[in-house]
Amino acid sequence: MRIVLNGETREVRAGRLDAALAELGYRGATVATAVNGGFVPAAARPATPIADGDRVEVLAPRQGG
């Protein structure tokens, strides 16, 4: 299926957020996630389904003022 990852369309096979993240190269990364604009805590990723067209945001620490 196709999801929108950080604004870019990507193909994923996994149907759950944790598996999709692993598939997309985020295994073990220090990131926070949101699906369709709503925060998904790390502990909830295995139980969070991913559907075609979902918008997934994966954010990490950065410089800020």
Partner 1 sequence: MARFYDVELGSRLMLGTAQYPSPAVLAAAFRASGAGVATVSLRREGGGSRAGEDFWRIIRELGVRVLPNTAGCHSVREAVTTAEMAREVFGTPWIKLEVIGNTDTLQPDPFALVEAARILLADGFEVFPYTTEDLVVAGRLVDAGCRVLMPWGAPIGSGLGLVNPYGLRALRARFPDVALVVDAGLGLPSHAAAAMEMGYDAVLLNTAVARAGDPVTMARAFARAIEAGALAAGADPMPARDMAAASTPEIGRAFLE
Applying CB under 8 A, the residues found at the interface with partner 1 are: 5-7, 24-26, 29-34, 37-39, 41-42, 57-65
Q: Kindly tell me which of 29 and 51 has the beta carbon lying closer to partner 1.
A: 29
Nearest to 1 by CA among 54, 57, 56: 54
Q: Kindly tell me which of 51 and 59 has the beta carbon lying closer to partner 1.
A: 59
Q: Closest separation between CB of residue 50 and partner 1, Å?
A: 15
Beta strands 8-11 and 2-5 are antiparallel
Nearest to 50 by CA among 12, 7, 9: 12
Q: Kindly tell me which of 25 and 52 has the beta carbon lying closer to partner 1.
A: 25
2 has which bridge partners?
Answer: 11
